[in-house]
Structure 1
């Protein structure tokens, strides 16, 4: 199999990653362009670096710097960061491929399978994470957890108070919870002890 065939496999892989996995699940159009552009750009530069005397380490260092700049330029959620680095990895694998073609293709397929399974809607579907602004100040953590569980209809696993405004009577919290699970009937003291562990 020629290098051109590996490049073609990369184009197919980034197409699957972007149009079969990411976009149907998350519907963010601007990142579709980003994933494809990053992948093809990395593929092109890595393909050139593989045929020159410049070491692959220099190329990987350049991509690391570029990825840091890209990730700092806009706010990405964690699953979007995973897609972004998958797009980078696919381009690097195809562009710097020196191993047997079947190894490269297997690694590319592994990335697609991991992203398919890891970001599947059925993977831990009841778990949620959000920032909640409450219209009252609740300084007691056990009362805060009990209030959030009643309001969200689920079991709170972790709560971090980001802002407690006693003047305007608001509480801003980051909460991780599980919906559809029976809300705890523990006393405030038992909840406090559980969170202290």
Structure 2
């Protein structure tokens, strides 16, 4: 159990501080990832010591995985970090039986997250919800207006709300950042 705890702490610190926080800078989720991971590790370790039925473990996993994921405050990307934090806790909680397998799985999970969330992979596209102080009835004019305001090429835009009384349009926009503005973290 001590080896599993050590591997888990190293893995979650690499995931939370080394990958997530350095790229996304959200302290609130940093704490959530670590707390969730260590809690999962503790529960799984306890379940293994007490030899509780595996169905209880899967039920717990399902329950914990939906606790915070319903919030609209977090992105799909952050949900992926939640999921990996949970999986690291589970993998390392059972590490006593197969420590080398757990170590290998930790490395694979961290490498996949590093590559999948690397700015060089998809870092030149952005997503933003934009509220315009005008209603565009012509989709081409809407695109031109968005490109002018964002100073970027609009890849896709979906109007989510139109208010003709207040002359307001809310648009979900995906756009490409020009090379000069792209940042590599």
Give the TM-score taking structure 1 as reference length: 0.83
Structure 1 gaps, min length 5: 182-197
Range that drifts further, 131-140 or 65-74: 65-74
Range that drifts further, 10-19 or 99-108: 99-108
Using the TM superposition, give the Cα deviation of residue 73 of structure 1 relative to its aligned residue in structure 2, in angstroms: 5.4
Partner Cα distance (2:177, 2:6) in 1:
43
Alignment of 1:51-90 (within 5 A): 51-72=49-70, 75-90=73-88
Pick closer, same or farther for the CA change 1:8–1:98 going to 2, 3 Å.
closer
Contact between 2:4 and 2:94, CA under 8 Å: does it hold in 1? no
Partner Cα distance (2:139, 2:97) in 1:
55
The equivalent residue for 1:112 is: 110
- Which entry has the higher C-alpha Rg, 1 or 2? 1
Using the TM superposition, give the Cα deviation of residue 72 of structure 1 relative to its aligned residue in structure 2, in angstroms: 2.8
Q: Supply the RMSD in Å over aligned alpha carbons.
A: 1.9
Moved over 6 A (4+): none
Partner Cα distance (1:97, 1:12) in 2:
14
Alignment of 1:8-87 (within 5 A): 8-72=6-70, 75-87=73-85
Using the TM superposition, give the Cα deviation of residue 163 of structure 1 relative to its aligned residue in structure 2, in angstroms: 1.1
SS in 1 for 2:128: strand
- The number of residue pairs the alignment matches comes to 179
Structure 2 gaps, min length 5: 180-185
Partner Cα distance (1:174, 1:82) in 2:
21
